[in-house]
Amino acid sequence: MSGAHDKSPVYPDEQGNTKKFDIVYEQYRNRIRKYLSLNVNPMIADDLTQQVFLKAIENIHTFKDNSSLFTWIFKIAQNTVKNEFRSLSRKKEIPYDFTAYESQSISLDFAKYVEIRIDIRSALKKLNDLDQQIISLRFFVDCTLLEISKIVGMRESAVKNRLYRSLEKLRRELKEWGDITIMSIQDMISIVSKSETNDTNESLNKVHHDLFNELKDNVERISSKFNHHPSRKIIIEIYPDLPTFHQAVGEANAPNWFMGTFEENKLKIVSPLNPGPEHTYQSILKSTVHLFTMWLVSDINPLAPKWLRQGIGGYESKQMTQEFIKKTTSDAIQKLVIPSFQELNNDTWDFETMKGFQFSYLIVEFIVDEYGLDSLNKLIRNPSDFNGIFQRSELELHEQWVEYVRNK
């Protein structure tokens, strides 16, 4: 149970018992930190949280038992934020580092296996400052209505009315896309790491709508095709541009073609609105299907080789045209400089240089054409059983594949 609902908080006596204050710190630290992260650079939120509690313990003698300990500490946090803004203003610095900002988002269940997290910052901006504060305190800082009433200086009933009116306005702003049903905002809100963009709300709505349409036609089909019910729901996170995406996934020096990846059950992609020099709006949408398929293969068998994951991803997303594949591989095929299956397990940026995406696609196409989907499914689950599945050794299957691509 959250500290927001504790009816008997533990607080120090008038002498400021340090041991008891440690309990108070653990009880309220996360909620104070969330509030600070919503208002200042999250990178310094930990330091400011420490400052808040140091001030609290220094001034505990001023605390009156007839008030809430949390709201008393919260007032200190509010003053800390104001001081931080004044300090930044004197230094002529901006108060936010948007590359690390923890922005509010909602999760929309629109498919059986996929969830898109959508930033609602632009929608919140439609509300006045007081309503933004009330929603933030209720859903992001986990405050009770009574606590909010004390923080904003209003009756609890008035806070409740404003909250409901604000939620209703947010629901109108967050329009339905396709057959998405907007759930209760209490069920949708989560915190994800995103950065501020200058894109309009209309543009962002279009991205989410188009992404929804791309996935709704493919996710169920692909899951059924490979006879697998995903072990958990996929979450899609959209980053505003390539530098932000590369930084977020720990690949600051990645090439421009690297626009998406998956970590555990999260697909991370760059926004189609800012795809970079080597992608287009539409190719980013198709790449999301590619990434979902790769994740599904990994969910079936975490030991599936890279060429199999990449090949099936490319085959199912149809991101590359036959003309592009032929044009970019013809020279290597003519010279018989065709990578082996093992070479296509290369997990460096050289994978793109050796035309790994194209050749992986061609392997999967060959297996489906010559042996059928059932054999491909068996290979996912037993990627080293070439003799059992194809009645050929790995080398013999590779030779057969080489002959296949030469005759295409």
The 10s digit of each residue's pLDDT in 16-72 is 455 567 788 888 888 888 888 777 766 788 889 999 999 988 888 888 776 788 888
The span from the CA of 289 to the CA of 301, in Å, is: 18
Whether the CB-CB separation of 295 and 262 falls below 8 Å is answered with yes
Claim to verify: residue 110 and residue 239 sit in the same structural domain: yes
Looking at the structure, do residues 135 and 223 belong to the same domain, yes or no?
Answer: no
Domain co-membership, 223 together with 116: yes
If DSSP codes are grouped into helix, strand and coil, which group holds residue 51? helix
CATH number assigned to the domain comprising residue 42: 1.10.1740.10
CATH of the domain at 270: 3.40.30
Token pair 């059992």 is found at 388
- Same domain, residue pair 181 and 278: yes
Mean pLDDT of 294-301: 95
Question: Do 257 and 295 lie in a common domain?
Answer: yes
Of the two residues 390 and 270, the one the predictor is more confident about is 390
Contact 219, 212 (CB under 8 A): no
Tens of pLDDT, residue by residue over 106-118, are 444 445 566 655 5
Last residue of a domain, one of 300, 329, 364: 300
Q: Is 196 a member of any domain? A: no
Check: CB of residue 97 under 8 Å from CB of residue 196.
no
115 with 219, same domain: the answer is yes
CA dihedral 283, 204, 245, 241 (to 10 degrees): 80
Cβ-proximal residues to 168 (8 Å cutoff; 6+ apart), any chain: none
Contacts of 322 (CB under 8 A, 6+ apart): none
What does the DSSP 8-state code read for residue 10? -
What would the DSSP string read from start to end of 154-198? --HHHHHHHHHHHHHHHHHHS---TT-----HHHHEEEEE-----
- CA dist 344 and 5 (Å) reads 55
Q: What pLDDT, on a 0 to 100 scale, did the predictor assign at position 178?
A: 33
Assess whether 84 and 149 both reside in one domain: no
pLDDT (0 to 100) of residue 404: 94
Q: What per-residue confidence (pLDDT) applies to 190?
A: 28
Under the banding of pLDDT at 50, 70 and 90, the label for residue 379 is very high
Residue 319 lies in a domain: yes
